[in-house]
Chains A and B, each alone.
Chain A
Amino acid sequence: MSEMPTGANSPRDDVALDVSAATASAPEPATGRRRSRLRLNSSMIIGACLVVLILGLALVSFVWTPYGPSEIDPVARLRAGSPAHPFGTDRFGRDTLTWVMYGARITLMVGVVAVGIALLIGTPIGIVSAIFAKQPWGMWIDAVIMRANDILLAFPALLLAIIFAAVYSPGTGPAMVAVGIAAIPGFARVARSGTLQVLGSEYVRAARASNRRIPAIAVVHVLPNIAGMVIVQASVAFAISVLAEAGLSFLGLGTQAPVPSWGRMLQESQQFLSTHPELALWPGLFIALAVLGFNLLGDGLRDRFDPKMDARGA
C-alpha cells in the first residue's frame, strides 16, 4: 500500500519497533496537520468575521440607529457624507447609514429564510430520491421526482414571485418564499448526487450488513457526509437570493416602501447613479460584503467537513 505522497501529514504507521509493547502506541499527535488545517481555513475565519459584522449591524439596529428609518428631513435631501450623516442622505432626506443598518435585517432575513426553505425542502427530496434510485423498483420514483425538479427549475422564479405578490400583496414575505422555492431544485440535485455517492460507499454497506435500517442510515451516515456539499450550495444560494430580492424590487415586487432593504435601496438609487453614486455604492458594498462573507464561510465549513480534506490527512 504505497503511502500518500503528501508529506506533512502522512501518519506514522504503527511500526512499533523499538519501544512500546505489542499494543500500538497512541496515534502520532498530528502537529503538522493541525497547523495546516488552520491555514487552510483562513477563508472560514474571514467569512465568519464578515457575517458577524453584518449580523452585528442588524442586531444593533434593533437597539440603536442614528436616526429613525422613516425620519425624513427634506431640507437635507441628497447630501453626500457629513458628520451628521456619515453615509449621506437619500431623496427623502433619510439617513443612509440608518437604512443600511435596518436593511441588514431584511436582507439577512431574505437570504436566511429563502435558503432555509430551499435547504429544508430540497435536501430531503434529494436524499429520498437517491434512496429510491437505489431500490430495484424505485427507479421511476426517482425519475418522477427529478422530472418534477426540472419543471420547478423551468418555472420562472419571477412568475412565482408575481403570483405570490398578487395573492398576498407585494412585500418581503412573498418575495422570500418565491425565491426560496425557486432554489429548491438546486439543493435537491446536490443532495441527490451526494447521497448516491454515500450510499455506494463501503461504510454504508457495513451499516446495512449490521442491520441498520434505511432511514437510520440516511440520518447517521448520509446527512453528515453530504453536509459539506449542501453548505457550499447554501452559501451560493444565499448570494443569489439576496440579489433576486433586489431584482424583484426592481419590478416593484420585493420589499415595499417604507420598509428598508438593501435591494430596494439599490433599485431606487438607480436614477441618481450619475449624480449621487454613493446612494448605490453603500447598499451595493454591503450586499457584496454579506455575499462574500457567506461564500467564504461556506468554503471554510466545506473544507472543515469535506472527507477529501480528511482523507488527505489519513
Chain B
Amino acid sequence: MKTPRIMTWVAGAAAVSLLLTACSAGASDSGEDAKKDSMTIAFTAEPVNLDFTSTSGVAIPEALMENVYESLVRLDGEGEIQPALAKDWSLSDDRTTYTFELQEGVKFSNGADLTSEDVKYSYERVQKDWKNALKSKMDIVKSIETPDDDTVNIELKKPSNTWLFNLTSLVGAVFDTEGTKDLANEAIGTGPFEIEKFTRGQSIDFAARDDYWGDKPALNSVQFKYFKDAVSASNALKSGEIDLVSNLQAPELADEYQSDDYQIVSGTTNGEVVLSMNNAKGIFKDKKAREAVMHAIDRKAVLDTAWAGYGELIGSMVPPTDPYYEDLTGVWKYDPKKAKELVDEAGIKGEEFSFTVPNLPYAKAISEIVSAQLEEVGLKAKVTTQEFPAVWLDKTFTEHDFDMSVINHAEPRDILTVFSKDYYIGYDDAKIKKIAEKADTGTEEEYISGMKEIAKTITDDAASDFLFLFPNLVIAKADIEGVPANRVSDAFKIADLSWK
C-alpha cells in the first residue's frame, strides 16, 4: 500500500508551520545586549502580598527591605550596625534613651518629605497595629519624642543590647504617615527603588528612583522572578533568560556552573536547620533519648547527601555572623555505638515515634538520611510528611503534635524565641530566662558572654540537633559585581549589584 499522498501533505504542513513561527520569532527575542542597566533575579519563595506588618515569612522583607523601605540603621556584610536614615545617634548615660539625627532631604516615593513625625508614627504603629509577632521587638520602647523635624528621641523601659540590632530588621522600617492605606498592594518607602509592577505569584519589577537621598544604584530596573521549581530556575539561568539565582534550592545543580561564565557564591544565612525534638512530651522528654539522637546523627553525611555539602556545620542555634557565635560542633560527636547504648538505657529500642517533615526539598532529603541513620542505632522513626506551611504550622507548630521534626529557622537572632517555653519545641527555658534578661540589660560584653552561655546550655541540654547552617548559595553570571556573600539581615540589597 503506497503512503497516501493526502496524509503526508497534512503532516508536512503542520511541521512547517510550527518551525516557521519558531525561527521568525526567535530572531527578535535573543538580541538583548543593551541590558547593562537592568537585571533579572530568580527567587523561590514568592511574596503573597507586600504587607510584612500582617504577613510573616522571608519573601516580603527580602524584596522590600533596603530596596523600598529603609530603617534608621542597617547591618553591613559583617553584621556591624551602620547608619541609614539616621545620620548619627547617641545613647543616654543610663543607656535607656537613643537620640537619632535624621538625614536631610530624604523623600518618600510618593514625594512626601521624611520627618521625625514619620518615624514616631511608624514605630508606635508597630506596637498598636502590627499582627506579625516580630512586633514584640518594639515592646521595650516606652516613649518616642520628636523635638524637631530632624531628631527623634526614643526612650526604652530599660537598657537593651538587642533593641538597636532589632531596629535593623523589618521592625525598624519607616513608613510615610500617609503611606499605610493599602500596604498589601502598595509599598511607599524611602529606599533607592520603587515598585513599578507587582504581578502576584510571578514577578516584582523595581525601578530606581532619581530623587533618592543616598548614592544612586548602578542598575535602574531590576526584576525579581519567582520559580516554584528549582530546576526551571537553573535552566533559565543556563539559557540566559535570567542573570542571577538568589538561593538555589537544588544544590546538586551547582557544580554544573563550575565554569568561567558563571560565579558560585556560597555564604551564610541566619537559617539554622534544626532537627527539633519535642522536649515537653513524648519519647524525647527524656534527655537520654535526645542524647542518643545527638550521637546517632552524622551531620557531615547529612549535609553532603541532603544539600550537596553546601552550608556550614554549627553546634548551636547561632550563625557565625552573630557576635556571640561559638563553634560548639564538638559537643555531640557522631558515635553510633554510644548512641545504641543510650537507646538501650532509655529503653526505647524499636519504639516508633512520629517524625513530621514539612514537604520542602531540604526537609524531605534530610528526613531520608536521618531516618536511615536513626534506624541503624535502633531508633524507629515513622516519617509523616506534612503540607508546608498550612498543615505543618497547624499540627506540629501550633498543636505540638510531634516527637521529632526538621525545619529551617530563618529569622535573625531567634535563639530566644525558638527555645522559649511555649514554642513548639517546648524547651524548659527556666535556666536561660534569667541569663537572657541580665544579658539584654547589661553592657555589650555582658550581653555577649550571657548569650554564649545560653547557646552552650541549650546545646548541652541536647534540646535539638543543629544539623547545619542553611547556605546562601548564589549563582550569577560571571560579569556581575556586588553579589552579597552572607545574608545577615532580612534584606537582599539590589543597590549593591552592578554589571562589570
Contacts and interface: CB of A to CB of B under 8 A. Distances in A.
- Judged by CB atoms under 8 Å, the answer to whether A and B touch is yes
Contact of A92 (B253, B369, B375): B369
B331 interface: no
A271 B231 contact: yes
Given A169-B386, A170-B385, A252-B387, A258 B372 contact: yes
Interface in A166-192: 166, 169-171
A6 interface: no
B305 A252 contact: no
A70 interface: yes
B385 A271 contact: no
A277 to B, nearest CB: 13
A32 B307 CA distance: 66
State the main secondary structure of chain B at its contact with A: helix
Given A169-B391, A170-B386, A272-B252, A258 B231 contact: no
Interface string B366-384: 0111011001000000011
A229 interface: no
Contacts of B387: 162, 165-166, 170, 252-253
Nearest to B388: A252
Given A91-B305, A169-B384, A270 B368 contact: no
A72 B370 CA distance: 10
A213 to B, nearest CB: 50
A257 B383 contact: yes
A271 B359 contact: no
B368 A271 contact: no
B230 interface: yes
B375 A252 contact: no
Contact of A258 (B234, B252, B301, B383): B383
A31 interface: no
A275 B391 contact: no
Contacts of A166: 387, 390-391
B305 A258 contact: no
B93 interface: no
Contacts of A70: 368, 371-372, 375
Interface in B378-431: 383-387, 390-391
Contacts of B372: 70-72, 92, 258
A273 B229 CA distance: 14
Interface string A209-251: 0000000000000000000000000000000000000000000
B357 interface: yes
Task: Pick the most buried of B230, B383, B390: most chain A CB atoms within 10 A of its CB.
Answer: B383
A2 interface: no
A98 B358 CA distance: 26
Contact of B301 (A74, A165, A169, A275): A74
Contacts of B385: 169-171, 252, 256-257
A36 to B, nearest CB: 21
A256 B305 contact: no
Contact of B305 (A93, A162, A271): A93
Nearest to A272: B252
A164 to B, nearest CB: 11
A252 B386 CA distance: 9
B359 A170 contact: yes
Contact of A72 (B369, B384, B390): B369
B250 interface: yes
Interface string A266-301: 000011111100000000000000000000000000
Contact of A256 (B301, B383, B390): B383
A308 B304 CA distance: 61
Contacts of B365: 91-92, 257
A304 interface: no
Task: Pick the most buried of B252, B253, B305: most chain A CB atoms within 10 A of its CB.
Answer: B305
B260 interface: no
B95 interface: no
Nearest to A70: B372
A283 to B, nearest CB: 16
A258 B390 contact: no
B66 to A, nearest CB: 32
Nearest to A258: B368
Nearest 10 A/B pairs, CB to CB: A252-B359, A256-B385, A271-B250, A70-B372, A257-B368, A258-B368, A169-B384, A72-B372, A170-B385, A257-B364
Given A72-B369, A91-B252, 18 more contacts: A70-B368, A70-B372, A74-B305, A91-B305, A92-B368, A92-B369, A93-B305, A165-B387, A166-B390, A166-B391, A252-B387, A256-B364, A257-B357, A257-B383, A258-B372, A271-B231, A271-B252, A272-B252
19 contacts: A70-B371, A70-B375, A72-B372, A74-B304, A91-B252, A92-B305, A166-B390, A169-B386, A170-B387, A252-B359, A252-B364, A252-B387, A256-B357, A256-B359, A256-B383, A256-B384, A258-B372, A271-B230, A272-B252
